[in-house]
Every structure is written in structure tokens, then in C-alpha cells.
Structure 1
């Protein structure tokens, strides 16, 4: 019985009952494997549920709480990875390619869980940098904060990575505090549904925070507007259509598009036959052509080669492509399966014929036999195809994306020309440069960077450890300028902030503390009545301040520190050299001795609520300390937060070290672990 792909809206699964809709077929044997139809899905109910249930639930949680749920979900899905992989082969995908999608999906969830815990606060508002005095008034300060938008994140995904593509958008939206409505591509919606069912059944994510619509429902964007975010992975034509939709053009929904990309790889002039880089270059191209049958937005489409190496590269690629076994992905030994559908095969054939206007086919092509014995007449098999440009600047060579196992070799005569040819793609998601020549790398990468969202540099040093050309990593930006869509996803912390609202807030210094939960130097300093290190986390107030006594910095102390530590830098031990310096007037105290002496002034030695010191941040030595100078300091509680599930929290203390003239000589933030009295 044909599987009917269901949608999940407003806490309920909805399965289509009619016979209308798209019939998804196995591109190997033509068997109908799924029916997709969203005509009766209530989009308004999905949007309302996201706004009234999912959004408030997410915004009530801290970044850390959201991150812990992502971590839990990653573990849950990873435990079912083998079962999920097993469903892919009926969609023309090899087990190896399926594993990339499934493992990539769980890994991006885990990566964003780590990012949320390490780079975001235990709060639901992110405060950027430090409060800055405005117009010279220390009591009037400004700061940028990031808050969750009170809207919905609509994810329109592509067919090629039904799990990874879904989860990478979900991870960033969830961490940003936005509920998601996921619309997978119909051709692989049954695979996305299998993942989503496991998400729902786990009960890990709060109701309304994620919903799923399979098919093409009416009015998908009609209820969206200001505060909403639309992320689309698809063609440039789709992105252009969405940009003109009233939800975006008139009502202010934000659109992030990842679209067409005629990606290039560039071989260095130094990387001729016999070099490690030459072998790495050829291996990378064949892998990108055949992985997922070349159906990747990041796959290599243009192969830019120094003219003197073209024949060698073509010969090497021809030999390697000749070893690729194309066939039913369920058959052992098959390297590459069919394209996702017969329609996709026809589209790729048409694109190759268009490319032939500026290039000649040397391997494969639309008429090359590719389907194995027993394949359905309407199958998706297409032979790996390599072309060589006869006109290196022909518009088709740089403008036509054959979304399949197709690449074109293009010669160049100088690094400058290589960069010019790469730019003819009018904006790409990724390029790779393969060379062991630092000068070539510098010239080419700096020239092509404005045209790309990501550049991979490969040489022999990372031949074994580097990711493939097309690999999308959560720490790096996925997106690109121009025809690539002009958007960006992922990029570590950036991928979350991209979904949040940045707001500049100007206020009095004290109101800034109330808003941000961070003390600033223009705000009041409070008297805790005791040494602040004697206060538990709950009792410590932001602004609680300790003013210490003084310590004289003597020549004997500095000399002892130099001998004891081995830090005999001239400015501390050589009076003549120090006096001749354009910076100093004579010998000075070590900066790290100042820090050690400062600790001696503020540390309360008895066991207590302060359990440990775990670091310093933002350290600056502002001016020298000479022999005979007296230092003192101000220690102020700047920020505090509980670490969930530990019984303790973290406190940031602002430290300002001054001399006998009240001039600042050093500033830094001290980080401590403090006990909670409720532990």
C-alpha cells in the first residue's frame, strides 16, 4: 500500500485521504512509494499554534534550557540512525550518502546545543559587548540587546538533504526562540516525515514549537508578516518569487534564501601531476560529482585548471570516473544511484546540452548509457559527465547549473584570471582552492572571497583531515551572495543572532543594569556590608563593591618576581634599557605581578561561597606602574547566573586597579564559581 505522507499541525497528525497529490516514485524501478497532498492542511491553525503556544513556551526558556533540549533530541535521533538510514535507498540514495544526511542532522543539533551552552547566557536575552557612555556622560549609556522575535520561522527545504536540511534550520530557530513550521520538498517528504515522527514521539520539544506540512498547501505565506522569518533552500526562481510575495514585500517578513550556485574548485599552478595536491584535487572533484549523484547545492560545477595542467587533469578525472559504478543503490558495490526522479534527469540532460554551447563532452553526457538492467523506463539514472570548456568565458559555462553528476573543466592562464572566471558565477555558496603555494592561496582567496560565502583551502597538510568541498559545518556560514541567494545560515553564533532582533537601548547607567542584569562603571556601587566573597549567589547584588587597601610596588618585589618566574624582560630588570624605551621612563612592575598583587588585596582566604576562580577576561594594562607606586583596586559584582543542575553559579567581577593618583593602571573581568545557598 502506498504510504500517505502526513502533516503535523496544532498537535495532531493529518493524513490525506483522497487520491489527488504528487505520487513519489522510486527512481530506480518506478514503484510508487508515497503520496503527498496538503490541500486540506489548515495553515492558519499551524501559524496560530506557533504564535500562541510554541512561541511563548520558547521565549520563556533560557538559551541554556533550549540548548539542553537540542542535546537531548540529538541523542534520541542518533540512537535511531540505522533505522532512519534504511529508508533512503528507495529514493535512489546510497547507504553512504544516507548516512551523511542522517549523521549530519544529529551532529548539527549537538553542535548547536554546545554553542548554546558555551556562547550564550543562562538568560533569554543576549547582551552584546559592554555598555558604552554616550556623548561623554558616564551616566548615559547605550547597549545592543538581542531578543526573540514574536513570530514564526517557516522552513522551506530542498529534496536532497531531508534530515540535515530540516534539522539545521530547526536548531538555529529553536535556540533563537522561534517556533518552526517545516515544509519539506515533496520528493523526499516521506523521509523527512520519518524523522519528524520520531521528534514528536520523543516528547522532548514543547508542543507548538515545531510543526510539519508535507505537500503544497494553499496560503502558506498568507498569515506571515513582521516578526516572521522565512528560510528557503531551492532555486533562484523560487527565491525571486518569494521576495515579491506580500508577506515579504509588504508585511515585513524576513526572507533568507539559499539558491542556485555554480561552485568552483581552483587548482594551483604549483599542483601538477605527481603532487599531493593534484591527487587531492581529482579525488575531491569525483567525490563531489558522485556524492548524492551530484544533487547538492554545494557540489563542484566548475573545475578551474592552469592551462598547462588541463590535459593531465582531464586524463585523471576520466580514469577515476570510469571506475564509478552506477546502479541500484541497494546493490552491493554501487557508488552512485539515480537522480531523484526522471524529471530531474531530463532537467540535467537539458542543462548539459546548454553547457555544450561553450564546452565539449569528454565523459558521459545525456546520451551515455547509465541505467542498469531492470531499471524502469522512467528512471533517474544519469551518467557522470565531464566537459571541457572550448570558450572559457561562455555564459552557459558559468551560468548553467546542471543539478547532477556534471562538471566542466575551464583553463586559466594566471591567478588573476582564475579569480575573474570564478566571479563569472555571479555569487556562489562555496569555492575550494587546492595548492601548496602560500602566495597563490593569498592572491586567489582574497580575490574570490567577496563572491563566496565559504572558501575551502586544501593542501597536503590536511589531506587526511579536511572536510569535503561541499561539507556544510555548523560553525561556518552556509550561504552566499548574488545568485546564491544573498542569505546566510549557520555560522555558529551568527546563525542564531541572524534570527533574533537587535535593538539599541540608551538609558541611565542604573536602568541599564536593571535591563541587562549587568553592572556597568556608570552605575551605583553598593556596600555589601561584608566582604562580597562571603555572599551566596542569591544574596550577592549586582553592584556590590569592595574597595581594597593599598600596596606599594617595590624594586625588591619586582626583582624577586623576575627571578622566581623567569620573566626577565628588559623593562623589569634593565634600568638603562627601560629608560631608553619610548614607552617607559624606567624600570616597571610586571603586569602579571600587578595581577598577583591585586589578588592579594581582594582575596578572602577562608572557605566560603566563592569556590574557585576560573579565568580572566578583557584584561588591559593601561599604564606602567613604577617602583614606589601604590596600587589599590575596586572589585564589583558585574553579572551572575546559575549553572543548571549543578548547585552553583558563575559570577563576573569587574576589577579596576588604580595608582596613588587614582589613575587606572589595569582593568579586567574576574570569573568565579559561587555556591548557591539552596543547593
Structure 2
């Protein structure tokens, strides 16, 4: 594990691991103590990285050499697998992710994304035959070829840094793009570790992957406005996504955004209330609620509101919160004091606005822990029901009938995810189809996997990560026509 004296050469620029001119601290959110120092890249470092990525795309065979891309992706997957325990301990310490999550979406599942896109690259059709047509007495053969979109700027947040980095790197590299990846300032050491594996254990040509860690907003500005960047892929808040769209518009870049969510879980009147209550309580506490697709609104039949609230509260009381390194811990800390202040402020305003605080709503020290929190009788138009909290806070909203539930669920600027519980699967599916979101869980179904496209409607984003759709985001289509002799 990195220490305060082990900042080292953490920037990957043009094939070399380099030290920045300055550093910034990464803090362990479970203790509040400094975990290590990361290189603090500058706007000039971002310029150098973009230049390296542009040169690698324009002047090497990376974009057209499928065999080379396959070999490098296989090497990267092997390196990730061989160093999984080092990455696990670093992810637990820097992200505050409970150990149990590193066996899934925090680490091991993202590693398999690299394998998925390696296999997909072998089989994915890169040409489409449109056949021949006759125009003005001559035969014309037509076809479509897919080719790499170019230089990609990838910007990720702190909550799932391995998943988010690899969900962008793997398909972009498989497509033949070159990449500049900027890690989140809250979790720079995890991102820098990926760069070290690439530099030391793969044959990726210089400039194909460049990795920056920085606390300077100017770095992101360079990446989103630079004329030599062809694609921007960003995961983070909707507010930042709007700014990125505006910044990229000057050069008409392709922009792919995976943004916020305020997803609703609907418990129908025929559901297994006990199972639904358990699912709702433990879902919102997963990674301390720091997940954009988590269901943070719980819609319940008005006649059963109090009964379901009581069961959810009992389940929240069983959530084991504490040291994320402990295998028995289910929920770790929030990422920072700043984030905990935000969560606590939203809960306080919700109570002032008329919501009932059923359980939780308190800070836990040391570190940046916050109790699993349940608010009942929440007005669907209240801030807590409309804005993303990114903390372990569940808002319970009563509804009158199925039509009312659908209206409440869709009454959001977001459209990322959702869930429904019912003993009647056909009824549940029919309702799910009416909710305007990009993903949906029925009776606890898990849609999150390397082969399943992930993304949202409305202000939850543009485009899809993972699956075949994730590869297609980094491909351009070129249509050809040739006169047949």
C-alpha cells in the first residue's frame, strides 16, 4: 500500500511513469488520516497527455492492429488479476469500500470487463454489407465499416473508481481509441495504480493510455475543450455533466455522460413486504448510498405505509457499519467530511420540511461515517425526493394506486434506474415498462454485469456503458459505395 513517502511516479504520460511537480493528499475516509500523496497534474500535463494520445492515434497502427490490441488487453487483464489483492487493499483504504464489495462491483467484476471486451473484439462485426443497388443504369456495391472514434478524454468520480475507469478504458482500447483518463481527486491512488500496471505489465504503445491524477479543475477543462480530443466520456453529477456538454460544444465533440439518479423502488400492494423492506434497506446502504443507480425513493401503498416503514427501519438496524477492512462490515464511510456535511444538511432540511425521521440522521466518528437513515411521509416534491443525496438516506413516499406510483416515479429530472416488487411478475413487468429509466430491477433482479448496457434517460445521461453498446460508443461508422465493374 502507498504511504505518505510513496507518491512516486504516479502520472502515466506518453508511455512513461512520471512524477508531478506537486502533490496532494489522499485521505482514508474511515479514519480521516492521510493515506498517501498523489501527483497533482497541471493543465500543462493534460496538454502533454492529449498530444501523446493524438500522436499515438494518428501515427501508429494502434487503431488498425487488432492483434496488438488483443495482446495488450490480455496482458492488462492478467496484470489486474495477478495484482488483485494489492488493488483490493488500496480500494478498501482509499475508497472506504467494504471488503465484501471488492469481490463484486468495486474490483473483481470490473476486472472481468477487460476480459469481456477482449473476447468481444475477437467476434464483433466491424463491417456491414448493404448489398448492391442500381442507380442510373450502373450497379453500386455499398458497405459500412466501423473504426475507432479517435482520442478519448475519460473523467471519473470517486465512488467506484475501478469499475468506472475500466468501463471506459476497456471498450475504448478494444475499439482502437487512445485515452487520457483523469481520476477523481478523492481517490487518486487507485487510478494511479491502474496506470502503473499498464506501464509495467503491458505492451501498450506510448501515448495510447495516459493517466492523470489532479486536484486542479483546469485539467478537466483542458480535456473537455481541447480540439484534439474527439470523445469525452464522463461519469459524475448532472450539474458537472451540463458544464461538460457546454464546454465540449465549442468543438462539437461526441459527449457520453453517465450522470446522477433519484431512482424509485415501487412496492406494489401484493408484494412480499418483508422481502421488499430488506431489499430497500440494504440497497440504500450499499457503499453508504454512494451509487448513482441506488433506489433512494421507496414508494409504498398508503394503506401499508407504517407497516413497511417499520420493517425497513428494523432492517436498517441490522446493517453492520464500521471498518471497511472487516469482512463482516456491510457499510463503510462516506468519502469525505464535505460529503457527510452535504448529506446531513439534506436530512435536516427534510425534517424541517415535514418529513419524519424514523431512524438514523447522525454522524459517526472517527472517519466520515453516517448512520443508515430512514425518512417517512416524504412529499414527492421535496428536495430529499428530487435531488441526489449520495448517502445512506431512504425517503419513503406513500401512493394511492398504480397510476399514482408511476406518476411519482417518473416525476424526476433523472431516469437512471428503478425497481418494483410484486408477487405477480407480469404486473411488475408491465409497470416497469412505464417507468422512464435505463435500467430496472424486478423483485430483486440484478442487471449489473459486463454484458448488460448501463445508462439512463433524461438528465441521467447520454449513451451506455458496458455490453456491446459500450463498445459502439467508441466507434464511428463510415459508409462506402463502389461502382461494380
The TM-score with structure 1 as length reference comes to 0.66
1:370 aligns with 2:364: yes
Partner of 1:494: 469
Shift of 1:352: 1.9
2:25 to 17, 23, 26: 23
SS of 2:459 mapped into structure 1: helix
Partner of 1:481: 457
Partner of 1:196: 195
SS of 1:326 mapped into structure 2: coil
Q: How does 1:61-76 map to 2 (within 5 A)?
A: 61-62=65-66, 65-76=68-79
Partner of 1:541: none
How far apart are the structure 1 equivalents of 2:27 and 2:399?
43
Contact 1:224 1:253 in 2 (8 A): no
Answer with 1 or 2: which has the greater Rg.
Answer: 1
Q: Unpaired runs of 5+ in structure 1? A: 121-125, 511-679
Q: How does 1:284-295 map to 2 (within 5 A)?
A: 284-295=279-290
Change over 3 Å in CA distance of 1:355–1:22 after alignment to 2:
farther
1:86 aligns with 2:86: no
1:334 to 307, 310, 329: 329
Partner of 1:234: 236
Q: Unpaired runs of 5+ in structure 2? A: none
1:127 aligns with 2:127: yes
Shift of 1:143: 3.2
Contact 1:234 1:258 in 2 (8 A): yes
Contact 2:282 2:315 in 1 (8 A): no
Partner of 1:208: 207
Q: How does 1:117-196 map to 2 (within 5 A)?
A: 117-120=122-125, 126-131=126-131, 133=133, 139-149=139-149, 151-196=150-195
SS of 1:265 mapped into structure 2: strand
TM-superposition CA deviations, 1:161-194 (whole Å, max 9, x none): 1111111100110111101111010111111212
Shift of 1:137: 6.6
1:302 aligns with 2:306: no
Change over 3 Å in CA distance of 1:240–1:390 after alignment to 2:
closer
Change over 3 Å in CA distance of 1:68–1:8 after alignment to 2:
closer
SS of 2:62 mapped into structure 1: helix
Partner of 2:356: 360
Shift of 1:319: 1.0
1:115 aligns with 2:120: yes
How far apart are the structure 2 equivalents of 1:40 and 1:423?
41
Change over 3 Å in CA distance of 1:132–1:94 after alignment to 2:
same
Change over 3 Å in CA distance of 1:222–1:485 after alignment to 2:
closer
1:4 aligns with 2:7: yes
How far apart are the structure 1 equivalents of 2:356 and 2:45?
51
How far apart are the structure 1 equivalents of 2:151 and 2:88?
30
Partner of 1:445: 432
Contact 1:144 1:505 in 2 (8 A): yes
How far apart are the structure 2 equivalents of 1:394 and 1:477?
30
Change over 3 Å in CA distance of 1:12–1:412 after alignment to 2:
same
Partner of 1:105: 110
TM-superposition CA deviations, 1:277-319 (whole Å, max 9, x none): x41x233223322221111111111112222332232121111
Shift of 1:359: 2.6
How far apart are the structure 2 equivalents of 1:115 and 1:195?
22
How far apart are the structure 2 equivalents of 1:136 and 1:265?
58
Partner of 1:95: 99
Shift of 1:138: 7.8
Shift of 1:384: 0.5
Shift of 1:129: 5.0
Bigger relative contact order, structure 1 or 2, given CA contacts below 8 A and separation 6+?
2
Alignment RMSD: 2.4
TM-superposition CA deviations, 1:211-246 (whole Å, max 9, x none): 10100354523763376111111111111111121x
1:34 to 33, 36, 51: 36
Shift of 1:136: 9.1
Partner of 1:48: 51
SS of 2:341 mapped into structure 1: helix
How far apart are the structure 2 equivalents of 1:17 and 1:23?
14
How far apart are the structure 1 equivalents of 2:13 and 2:151?
14
How far apart are the structure 1 equivalents of 2:43 and 2:226?
19
Identify the structure with the greater helix proportion. 2
TM-superposition CA deviations, 1:346-370 (whole Å, max 9, x none): 01112223433253221111xx253
Shift of 1:40: 7.0
Partner of 2:64: 60
TM-superposition CA deviations, 1:124-145 (whole Å, max 9, x none): xx21253252669782243333
How far apart are the structure 1 equivalents of 2:134 and 2:227?
34
